Structure 1
Amino acid sequence: MCGIVGILSLSKSIDERKITLSKMLKAQEHRGPDAQKDWHDSVCSLGHNRLSIIDLSEEANQPMHSHCGRYVVVFNGEIYNYIEIKKELQNHFVFKTQSDTEVLLAAYIRWGKAFLEKLNGMFAIAIWDKHEQKLFIARDRFGVKPFYYYQNDDQIIFASEIKSIWAAGISKNKNKKVWANYLSFGTYGLPHETFWENIFQLPAAHYAEFSLLDFNIKPQKWYDFVSRVNSIEPLNVVTLKEQYTELLNDAIQLRFRADVPLGMNVSGGLDSSTLIALIHKNLPSNQKIEAFTFYCNDSNYDELPWVEALLQNKPYHLNKVLLKSEDVPHLISELSLNQDEPFGGFPTIAYSLLFKEARKKGIKVLLDGQGMDEAWAGYDYYHNNSNNIIQGLNSSPVKPEVLLQEFSAFAEKEIYEKPFESNMKNMQYRDIFYTKIPRALRFNDRISMLHGTELREPFLDFRLVELAFAQEDSMKFENGNTKWMLRQLSQNLLGNNIALAPKRALQTPQREWIANELNTYFSDKISQFSKLDFVEESKVNQIWKEYNNGNQDNSFYLWQWINLISIL
């Protein structure tokens, strides 16, 4: 996992692009502390920050050139099945490294854009064809790895993080529609949008090809999730258990492939518990792994007792990382600079500490259990007709009344595709491609890369997601039990106490700390927010006063206000 940057320009000289690219690489150097390289020709510049995970040699550094000299690639991510793809290509190429990057480039040369279908992994890719003067870019199925870009009439600038595009001299202006939607509806933008004007994302599961004759990026979908899941026949319980278990084991085994030490982030929930059990079942005897969890010294929220129970009698050292209220202000500042856009509240802050601790111990790769809830319909709103996008809230998470009318007018409630007959599946589809998964992946990419670590999410293996998603609604929710089929499968791994336990949202004492230990800090930040030119100061102050007087059902809107002030 790494960071990539690039400039394609008709007007900028090589010297100008070298200076700009250097600034871009510097802005995201945390993504790749092991090596930094750049390459330039008359119109194209490519750069790479490397975090060495597979083949630690210098020969595997990027930008990497094809043996024929025609192509240059920069790539961020991991291709977990690169060994299997390499075997398919061994009669056509002589490989000089043990890296997945070289395999990826050879696959592109052999199969063209159709090579994307062969990849099982997370990736953001840019390949420059020197002969045809064309750039090919692509992003993985669920958008695990980021790809941001800016374009005008004579240049395209792209990077793994928005801050690198700002470092190239692009202005930092609010995307008023996305900001208004965030404060009005709690959404984070559509798959191609960011919080910043004229800075876009290549959507997940899309690619684009463009040349000097046409500087307009026109993303094309390469992965048709809807067609694929519609082609999968729903299975009976016995067959589904067999097929899904086989895929689970394979997904875990693929993600053990690394030339550096491994770790895992764990909590006390079903998904994390399943991950621990599968790792214990599949981890090769010559590999060691350490576990990481956070706690806040609050028994109402901490999952430490469950985690300790899960790891009992297992040979994994548990690293317990404490989030303290007095550290939160500094961490908000650090993560706001890191994220470039609004991010999750205190749980994301606490989660970031796990990667910091792992890196201190020399661990570069961590696994976690992201993706099960979306694939198996685990959130309460899938079943209670609330149509929410935030788990576990009884009141509105946002306070759009603080917006001035002229700014509120920029809001356009997002409309999500509903390609399935099942309402549950449509909500799952929304969460996978528009809401839950995109924002969680963005939060997690930044906090892992901030500390030079790679996060792998085996439950987001596309084969697992497709198979679970395609099943009948009754396989996901039965007799009041969410993730019903997964719970049946997990009983053999975990026992009934864990497999049948109700879902617990991963939480911290955010509401309590805001009302008490962090009240002064929040008062100061909310005062700053109230003076922004698009909010009504008196309304902000009134709502903050009501919170302090006990109206504390949720604190999501307060976090929004602090978050926005911190990223400006």
Structure 2
Amino acid sequence: MCGIAGFVNDMPIDTKCPVLKRMTDIIAHRGPDSEGHYIDEHAALGHRRLSIIDLGGGKQPIYNEDGSLVITFNGEIYNYQPLREQLIEAGHTFTTKSDTEVLLHGYEEWGVELLQKIRGMFTFVIWDRNKRELFGARDHFGIKPFYYAKMNGTFMYASEIKSLLQHPDFVKELNEKALKPYMTFQYPAIGETFFKGVFKLPEGHYFTYRDGKMSIHEYYDEHFRESSTKLDPLVDTIDRTVCDSVKAHQIADVEVGSFLSSGVDSSYVAAVARPEHTYSIGFGKGTYNESQQAGELAKLIDLNNTAEALTDEEAFAAFPRIQWHLDEPDSNPSCVPLYFLSALAAKDVKVVLSGEGADELFAGYIDYGVHTKFKPIKVLTRWLGHLPAGARHAIAQWCKGKTFHGAWHMYANLAPAEESFIGQARVFEESESDKLLNPEYRNAPSVQSIVDKTYARVEGKGLSELKKKQYLDMHQWMPGDILLKADKMTMAHSLELRVPLLDKELMAVAEQVPTKYLITDENTKYAFRQAAGRHLPKEWYDREKLGFPVPIKKWLREEKFYKYVRSVFERDYVSKFFDQDALLRMIDDNYAGKTDDRRKIWTVYSFLTWYDVYFVHDGSKPDVIAIA
């Protein structure tokens, strides 16, 4: 795992220019082991290395045989060894044993077709000196980040936006259209980031940049469909593919540990991997400390688990630094414990496995339509689900807004996904955002227009409403929130996170799981849980999804934290964005117990903390603060 940054300019570049080093120095946390630079008249490619494979020989940049191609790469290719053998047979000469060089010679040999052959997580760029062309790609699911901008005649790119800020041609300006969607989704929800003119390369896409023009193309997309697969062979296939993926994701020349929570996903991975070390974290004791249950599982299946309890003061003190590492505001509360969990694991290992991806691949979220525990309602809803679409939708409309028990469950399952589902977060309704935001920040892409672009890609493909929801999350929630925080919070501590449940081979299995085996009357991701049951006690594989519990409700009703967040809401610059009086009423009413607006308050607080770091201040790494 590493960090990359660089730029291309049609005007000659001074080969002694210090800009590239500034761009890579600011992300030294992504690769503290070494750095490397390539600069010619028109291109500058920089790299920070976290040594995982070929510890002695994998330093980047790496060149092809005649020096006409140069590569920098962030990520891991898990099937690089057989590809390397194919390339040697084809006549290529290797100078290292790294997966990076496999990408370079693979591009020489196969061109863009290389992307269909590799299995892994990656962003990389290859500069062709003869063509003066930059080629780059991002992995199938968006596990690794890639940002780019073109400003003042310079095309620049990086693993983190903070690298771009170091370039003299970069113009730092807030993207006014990003704030309103963020308030609903809780994460940056549009292609242009919170920094105006900075964009994210979409997951499953590659680009070429030549003669001042960038061309972006898709090379991969999920193909959700139905199949007639029976449950028992399906469970066999899932377990076999998970075991194969975990094994592939353990390829390294350093120790590979694993995160361990109370949930089925990371527990399944850890039980299969059986690493030397696993890691858990939580807040205090009881409800907000799932490390206790993780410790129980570790004892049951004989794992060496290290657990740590966080204090509330530690969480608040580090929050500005967390938002700095994120590059853009993200109000997912789990960013906080993940930051500290990564710090804990990084004391011992450079690589950890984690359970991200299973909920999207195998339908693990209750928001996919599990809104009652009353079995007769579930049975009735499932029966109604077999009616023609017109009848289903009519019943859904009748249920919408009703207050009888089961009404929301029936609506969520019978209504078109396009109408009822925007993903795993809905913090502010758009009408609420409009009331709170100043006029210049209301003119932004609507929530519906954002999700409609993704839904349009599967229109007419005959997918169940549940599979359409999965597809939306694969392209919104997962790359925009789950994977972004996973990358940034682990790399903040020079820790490589690998996600064996988010693998293209496992995706090929997941995309054809019959809908009836995704969510049943018993639980979510039913078939996946049955596979996990081959390795875990029933109490673990059948446990309802919990998420990463964070006590923000408690924090915002505790005087010292309430006063601190309120002091942030009182700052002068807050009135630039919000109706400040309304914001202060919101936090006061929540503190008094009149309302429960914790998620809304935390979302605004996250944005204001991020804005303070990057715009009120100069974007440098903030100190850990003290909460009196």
Task: Give TM-score, length-normalised by structure 1.
Answer: 0.92
Report if aligned partners of 2:329, 2:606 keep a CA contact under 8 Å in 1. yes
**Of 488, 509, 530, which residue of structure 1 is paired with 2:551?**
509
Q: 2: distance between equivalents of 1:15 and 1:183?
A: 44
Structure 2 residue aligned with 1:242, among 223, 236, 245? 236
User: Displacement of 1:395 after TM fit?
Assistant: 8.9
1:216 corresponds to which of 183, 206, 213? 213
1:285 corresponds in structure 2 to: none
Are 1:471 and 2:513 matched, yes or no?
yes
Greater Cα offset, 114-123 or 292-301:
292-301
Q: Determine the structure 1 residue equivalent to 2:473.
A: 431
Separation (CA, whole Å) in 1 of partners of 2:44 and 2:320: 32
Of the three residues 275, 284, 305, the one matched with 1:318 is: 305
> Which residue does 2:262 correspond to in 1?
268
Cα displacement (A) at 1:188: 2.0
Q: Answer whether contact 1:186 1:397 (CA < 8 A) is retained.
A: no
Cα displacement (A) at 1:351:
1.1
For each residue in 1:217-268, what CA deviation from the matched residue of structure 2 results, as whole angstroms up to 9, or x when unmatched?
Answer: 2210011323xx44x8442112212222221111000111111122111110
Question: What is the match of residue 364 of structure 2?
Answer: 378
1: CA distance between counterparts of 2:85 and 2:173?
48
1:172 & 1:398 partners in 2: Cα distance?
29
Q: In the alignment, residue 523 of structure 1 is paired with which amino acid? A: R
Whether the 8 Å CA contact 1:295–1:304 is kept in 2: the answer is yes
Q: Kindly indicate whether residue 525 of structure 2 is the aligned counterpart of residue 531 of structure 1.
A: no
Counterpart in the other structure of 1:194: 193
**Inter-CA distance 365–292: structure 2 relative to 1 (3 Å threshold):** same
2:451 to 392, 415, 420: 415
Tell me if structure 2 keeps the 8 A contact 1:529–1:561: no
Cα separation, 2, equivalents of 1:80 and 1:185: 33
2: CA distance between counterparts of 1:471 and 1:534? 45
The one-character-per-residue Cα deviations of 1:339-388 (angstroms, maximum 9, x if unpaired) are 11112444211111122122222x10010000111111111111145545
Confirm or deny: 8 A CA contact 2:265 2:355 kept in the other structure: yes
TM superposition shift of 1:531: 3.0
Q: How does 1:125-274 map to 2 (within 5 A)?
A: 125-152=124-151, 154-169=153-168, 170-190=170-190, 192-211=191-210, 213=211, 215-226=212-223, 229-230=224-225, 233-274=227-268
Distance in 1 (CA, whole Å) between partners of 2:145 and 2:203 is: 9
The question of whether the paired residues in 2 share the 8 Å contact of 1:32 and 1:51 is answered with: yes
Residue of structure 1 in register with 2:23 after alignment: 24
Q: Is the 8 A contact 2:187 2:331 kept in 1?
A: no
**2:262–2:293 contact (8 Å) kept in structure 1:** yes
Structure 1 unaligned spans of 5+: 281-287
For residues 295 and 184 of structure 2, the distance between their equivalents in structure 1, rounded to whole angstroms, comes to 40
CA distance in 1, matches of 2:286, 2:568: 28
Residue matched to 1:284: none
Change (3 A) 1:393 1:498: farther
CA contact 1:183–1:398 (8 Å) conserved in 2 = no
Among 502, 518, 530, the residue aligned to 1:460: 502
The C-alpha deviation readout for 1:98-122, integer Å capped at 9, x for no partner, is 1111111111111001001111000
Paired residue for 1:369? Answer: 355
Does residue 547 of the first structure (1) align with residue 590 of the second (2)? yes
Deviation string 1:480-500 (CA, Å, 9 cap, x unpaired) is 421111122222221322222
Structure 2 match to 1:304: 291
Moved more, 313-322 or 123-132: 313-322
1:498 has 2:532 as partner: no
Distance 1:345 1:237 in 2: 35
For each residue in 1:462-488, what CA deviation from the matched residue of structure 2 results, as whole angstroms up to 9, or x when unmatched? Answer: 121231132221010112421111122
Corresponding residue of 1:43: 42
What's 1:52 paired with?
A: 51
Contact 1:128/1:135 (8 A) holds in 2 = yes
Which deviations, in whole Å up to 9, do the C-alpha atoms of 1:178-217 show, x marking residues without a partner? 1121125545223x32111000111111011121x2x222
Letter in 1 for 2:465: N
| Residue 145 of structure 1, CA deviation | 0.8
CA shift in 2, pair 1:355/1:184, >3 Å: closer
Task: Number of aligned residue pairs: give it.
Answer: 552
Alignment of 1:336 onto 2:323: yes
Q: 1:13 to 1:338 in 2, by over 3 A?
A: same
Aligned-partner SS, 1:254:
helix
The 8 Å contact of residues 380 and 391 in structure 1, kept in 2 or not, is answered as: no
Residue 225 of structure 1: SS of its match in structure 2?
coil
Match of 2:113 in 1: 114
> CA separation of 1:393/1:415 partners in 2, compared to 1, >3 Å: closer, same or farther?
closer
Give, in whole Å, the separation in 2 of the partners of 1:71 and 1:141.
24
Q: Which of 350, 368, 392 is equivalent to 2:337? A: 350
The residue type paired with residue 173 of structure 2 is N
**Shift in Å, 1:394:** 10
What is the alpha-carbon root mean square deviation over aligned residues? 2.1
Name which of structure 1's ranges 202-211 and 519-528 shifts more when overlaid on structure 2: 519-528
The aligned counterpart of 1:404 is: 438
Structure-1 residue corresponding to 2:69: 71
Separation in 2, partners of 1:217, 1:566: 34
1:128 alignment partner, SS class: strand
Cα displacement (A) at 1:5:
1.0
Q: Deviations over 1:491-541 (max 9, x none)?
A: 222132222222222211111012105122111112227733121112111
TM-score by length of 2: 0.84
> What residue number does 2:400 align with?
none
What letter is aligned with 1:412?
S
Worse overlay, 232-241 or 290-299: 232-241
Quote the residue 2:562 is aligned against.
Answer: 519
Give the direction of change, closer, same or farther, for the CA distance of 1:105–1:535 in structure 2 (3 Å limit): same
Shift of 1:154: 2.8
Match of 1:98, SS state, is coil
* Conserved 8 A contact 1:142-1:438: no
Question: How many Å apart are 1:561 and its aligned residue?
Answer: 1.5
Separation of aligned partners in 2, 1:54 and 1:147: 22
Letter in 2 for 1:104: L
* Letter of the structure 2 residue corresponding to residue 241 of structure 1: V
Indicate conservation of the 8 Å contact 2:15/2:40, yes or no: no
SS of the aligned residue for 1:189 comes to coil
Distance 1:398 1:117 in 2: 44
Q: Would you say 1:289 and 2:276 are equivalent positions? A: yes
> What is the letter of the counterpart of residue 109 of structure 2?
R
**Does 2:527 align with 1:485?**
yes
Residue ranges of structure 2 left out of the alignment (5+ in a row): 370-408, 413-419, 612-628
The answer as to whether partners of 2:590 and 2:597 remain within 8 angstroms in 1 is: no
What's the counterpart of residue 283 of structure 1? none
Farther-moved stretch of structure 1 (347-356 vs 548-557) = 548-557
- Counterpart CA distance in 1 for 2:228 and 2:41 is 54
CA contact (8 A) 1:172 1:197 kept: yes
Q: For the residues of structure 2 that align with 1:353 and 1:394, how far apart are their CA atoms?
A: 25
| Aligned-residue identity in percent | 29
